[in-house]
Amino acid sequence: MKVEGWSYMKSKVLVNWQILYGALGIFLLSFTSFVHSSVSNFDFVGGHPRLVFNASGVDETKSHLGAVPLFDASLEQTRKMVDAEMELGIDVPLPKDFSGGYSHERHKRNYIVAQKAGQLFLLLGDEKYAIYIRDMLLQYASIYNDLPLHPKERSYARGKLFWQCLNDSNWLLYMAQAYDAIYSWLPSEQTQTLNTNLFRPFADFISLENPQFFNRIHNHSAWGNAAVGMIGLVMSDEELVERALFGLQDDGIKINAKDNDGGFIKKPGQVTGFIANLEEPFSPDGYYTEGPYYQRYAMYPFLIFAVAMNNVLPDFEVLEYKDGVLFSAVHALLSLTDHNGEFFPLNDAQKGMSVQSASLVSAVNLAYYYGDRDPALLSVVEKQGAVMLNQAGMSAAIAIRDGQTAPYPRTSIHLTDGADGKQGGISVLRDDQAKLDLVFKYTAHGLSHGHYDKLGISVFHAGQEVLQDYGLVRFVNIEEKGGGNYLPENTTWAKQTIAHNTLVLNEKSHFAGDYAVGSQNHSDLYFTGGDASIQIVSAKETNAYEDTELHRTVAIVKKPDLLRPYIVDLYRVSSAKKNQYDLPFYYQGQMIDSSMNVRVPESLIALGKGSGYQHLYVEGSARSSSESESFTWLYGHRFYSLVQASEQDDQRLFVRLGASDPEFNLRRDPGMIWRKENAKSAVFASVLEAHGSYSPVLEMSKDAERNIDRLITLHNDQEFTALKIIYKNSIKPDVLVVANKAAGESKFHSLEIDGVNYRWQGPFLFQPIEG
């Protein structure tokens, strides 16, 4: 009996997967039961190799060898690397180290080299590569069943080869591909030995023996599901493939166990497995709720297993699932990069991760080949300078050789979050000519890797962080720093609200820093809009603090009279009681000038005692005495200025990270915190502009004076907030008005300010002030 395709099954049960999320518990249980009842036999297509690099792909690829420069260069680079490793011999050490230690890195190197050796065997036909893989696998088979759990006990799910099951899954996913490459070459008694003594026990360990790892919605489980499924496809093991797709049906896991940075939370009635991990974390736009850093990491198992399913069990239509969300995900990822191709560091994220990563090379190649052959993807491949050694990589390399490349568009985007696209989202406003990116985050929490930063922003100019998001506190694969794992300050600092460029009430993080509460809430997009002169987006958050609404509107303004565009940031808060409000701006570089009289303390003390405040030294403070204040700094040979609409006695705190950090785990980054005290409703309005330059060679500055003179709050109530932007050099001032309650495009508004009656249609008005 053939397995029904997803499109057929969806119509059978009369369910639209896009609205499934609201009834997830009851429906998914019944849906999974339906699928299981439909699956009595699996029709595995083809012999071996059969996964990502299948037999037809091998023939197709080999027919072009020697005639496609990019592919040939990638092949030669891989051959040199694998040959060098083979000369060193095979080492399968007893596991003992954290990330960065020898045993960890050796086992990691083994699976990477073995997978590449499999590709070389298929392409070049040299049996030395098959022998190398065989001998390595037999060594693993000889020790695996006698291995205890890894001696390092930090993980919620310890592996055998590695300190966590996640890395064991990495090993299995790669080794499945190496095994597939030589499966038909091996004598049957050796495949039987490897199946029985290595691969089936390995798959059972990851899944049956670690349900708290395997049965969850998280990038960890995506790796585990895909790894078990891949080896199931190699061995034609129906049980493993079904387990991978739909999870364990009776895992015995305690409901609502507390999450602890990679721990486990399971919702009542939650269905898991690969399909559930495709459904829940991805929005219809392809945004992955954990953020781009972990989306980049997870795209490899998602796409590799989906393509393997497409080749071996095509009736499941996994690549087509959720309207081909995996292809949308690749484009979403590419859109979440700066001008250097580095991913915006949202949630837990290591800065510097970019499209050059191996997982993105495979993701872009596979999206091009199995998707719509978008020529814009080829420009990314060109930048990466390498391709996969299979038919997908060859196809992209041929298209590049034949001049089919098109530029990848760097336009403003608005990506939804949540399985149904209704849990907030993220916007990136861009001016590509000025190389300016404004990132605005109003998403759901982001699972265990999420941060408490509703309505946070960051700004990038020419690939530089002008206003930064801290990212994660972890030195990945540096054993000397906590075994390369997350450090305590990731929780006490990086996840806390004060670590981000967003509003904090009474020195307490959003949702009081409670993961369970934060995970149940999300911000909401209020409106987007704009024209040639202004791009604007607005969002609200009503659950971060009790009886309090946070409302932030950000915009990029392009004015013909100015050399560069500038950013407007309007943050309005309204609460039922009086509070202390803190809005940080974590700038990069050296303070140059301030309109305020900054007082420097004789000694450094921490700003507070918890919620991240304990990590900030106060280096200076100032009280405002004007309706507009300014602050200028120098970074990367460029000047940047913040001009802010202020009120009497507003406070600015100049802070630096590093307090309560005895192990020096935190960067010593500067910041400026704008504080308003004893207020119910408040407006924090700022304009950020880049201007001028400084040459250390010529020792000369140019245009160090900002172009925006002042920013004034003209009006603020429940209905409207209005700003006046005053320029230098006799340029007419502008007014920006935001309708705080009615965001409809067809809604007409009227507001009188200083005797002038402003009338407009839509959620905002931006125009010059006459007279």
Catalytic residues: 294, 449
CB neighbours of residue 608 within 10 Å? 16
What are 222's two structure tokens?
Answer: 């995506």
Q: Looking at residue 483, what DSSP letter applies?
A: G
Report which residue type is found at 337: T
SS3 655: strand
Rg (CA), the chain: 28
What are 173's two structure tokens?
Answer: 């996913």
Kindly report the backbone phi and psi dihedral angles of residue 405, in degrees, each rounded to the nearest multiple of 5, phi listed first.
-70, 140
In the chain, the N- to C-terminal Cα span, in Å, equals 79
> Pairing mode, if any, of strands 638-645 and 504-505?
unpaired
Report which residue type is found at 559: K
Is 562 in contact with 655 (CB distance < 8 Å)?
no
Residues, the chain: 771
Question: Among all chains, which residue has been given the structure tokens 């489980």?
Answer: 221
Is 51 in contact with 308 (CB distance < 8 Å)?
yes
Please write down the HEC assignment for all residues of 265-317.
CCCCCCCCCHHHHHHCCECCCCCECCCHHHHHHHHHHHHHHHHHHHHHCHHHC
Report which residue type is found at 640: Y
SS3 500: coil
For residue 26, give every residue at least 6 positions away whose Cβ sits within 8 Å of its Cβ, in sequence order, or none. Answer: 269
Q: Return the axis-axis angle of helices 292-312 and 358-370, rounded to nearest 10°.
A: 50
Is 311 in contact with 52 (CB distance < 8 Å)?
yes
Is 42 in contact with 241 (CB distance < 8 Å)?
yes
Query: What helix, strand, coil percent values describe the chain, rounded to 5?
Result: 35, 25, 40
Kindly report the backbone phi and psi dihedral angles of residue 726, in degrees, each rounded to the nearest multiple of 5, phi listed first.
-110, 125
CB neighbours of residue 515 within 10 Å? 20
**Ordered DSSP codes for 437-465:** EEEEEE-B--GGG--S-TTEEEEEETTEE
Kindly report the backbone phi and psi dihedral angles of residue 13, in degrees, each rounded to the nearest multiple of 5, phi listed first.
-95, 5
